[in-house]
Amino acid sequence: MRLPALSRFNTAGLHPGSDGPDGERAKDISVYTADPFPTMGGWKLVAQLQLTRDPADQVFTVTPADGRFIRVVITSASRLMRLA
């Protein structure tokens, strides 16, 4: 995501819904920020978060960081089990 200007943030809000394979959801994620040039290796790790299985929006407080570019990387996923 590219913000219009350098911004400070301390909260990450995520919606764990998925358009992926049936029942698969993001579980662990890493959040990075960069400014001014993400293509030059300027990414800084802001947070490593674990999502719950709750399908509602999830809000996390993170270490305050400045950035114009935000990257969210899914580092693991989980499959919801269904009982027949």
Across 9-18, 27-36, 66-75, least confident range: 9-18
Q: Is the pLDDT of residue 16 over 60?
A: yes
In the chain, count of helices (H) and strands (E)?
0, 4
Q: Is the pLDDT of residue 57 over 80?
A: yes
| Per-residue pLDDT at 30 | 93
| Cβ 79 vs Cβ 24: under 8 Å | yes
Rounded to whole angstroms, what are the CA distances from 63 to 9, 42, 51? 8, 18, 17
Domain ranges (residues) in the chain: 2-78
CATH says 2-78 is which class? Answer: mainly beta
Q: What is the pLDDT of residues 22-37, one digit of tens each?
A: 567 788 999 998 877 6
Say whether 39 sits in a helix, a strand or coil: helix
